[in-house]
Each structure stands twice: as C-alpha cells, then as structure tokens.
Structure 1
Amino acid sequence: GSRRIKMDVYLEVTGSRNINSVIKTIEKTGYLIDNIEVHPAKSGTYGNIGLSIVVGIPKDSKDEQVIDNIANVENVVLVVRCD
C-alpha cells in the first residue's frame, strides 16, 4: 500500500494557479500535506527547477524527490519541511 507521510508545507507560487489541484496531485503520491503557507515566489531562491516540485526528505538529509509530472502546473516551487 501507499505510505502516507505527514508534512508541513512551504509553497511558493508564481502566477495564478490552482493550489488545490497541486495539493491533490501531490497527495496522490502518498504524501499528506498539512499546515500550508502560500507566499509570492522569490526568483532564484531555489534555483531554476522549472515546473518541478521539490520534496526534500528527510529534513536532516540533502536527498530530494523531484516530482516533475504535475499536470496543469507552471512555475511552482514546493518546499516541504518534515517534522
């Protein structure tokens, strides 16, 4: 079965996007997203990752999972803090 990981989310978005659609797509991968903060994106803050959504796990590691097949999403940067 799909394991669900509870996370706090820091979401930066450029442009007008459907945040709920993004969240639902991410949760389909098995992540449970809580405590969402939405802020204007700062250009270059996380580098040029294009349409990728970056999920950093675990927080004490430099390992990342890049989810780059999110449908109907452009210029979205998702930084996930694992507590």
Structure 2
Amino acid sequence: MIDLVLSQLANPFRIGLLVALVFTMRKTEAATGRIIPLIAGVVFVAVILPSTLPDPTGSLTEQILAGLVSNAIILAVVLAGWALATRLRR
C-alpha cells in the first residue's frame, strides 16, 4: 500500500489536476466556499484516475484509498505553497 501511495505522489497528472483544483477553488471561492469544493475534488481525482488508468499492482479499492491519502498530501503541499506565495506578495 505504501508503494502505491508513493507512486501516486509522483504522478504528474495527479499533481496537475490538484494544482488546477486549487486555482479553480481560489477563483470560485466567494460563490462556492473552500472546504466542500476541495473535498469533492480530492475524492473525484482519487476515483477517476484509477478508474480510467488502472494500475495492475492493486485492486480498485486499494487504489482509491491510496489516492485519497496521496491527494490529501499533495493538496496540503499545494495549499502551503499558495499561502506562502500570498504572504510573499504582500
């Protein structure tokens, strides 16, 4: 399971989707809020990637659970980078 999480953490497509999720959330934050879109996006990416690009190393359920963990880690890094960039601009 740890190998699966590590391989997902290095997936550039997953990283790109989560960076785009944060940019979209920042643009629509006034209308949709912050928490619900982020949770929905993390779950969506965790389910859609293994469904469309299956990895033969684990079952679909394992891939989705590992995706939730890796997405949360990537999202935390992206949000921390966004907060740092915002602070440095002020």
Shared fold, TM over 0.5: no
Higher strand share: 1
Q: With structure 1 as the length reference, what TM-score do the two structures score?
A: 0.28
Higher helix share: 2
Q: With structure 2 as the length reference, what TM-score do the two structures score?
A: 0.27
Find the structure with the greater CA-based Rg: 2
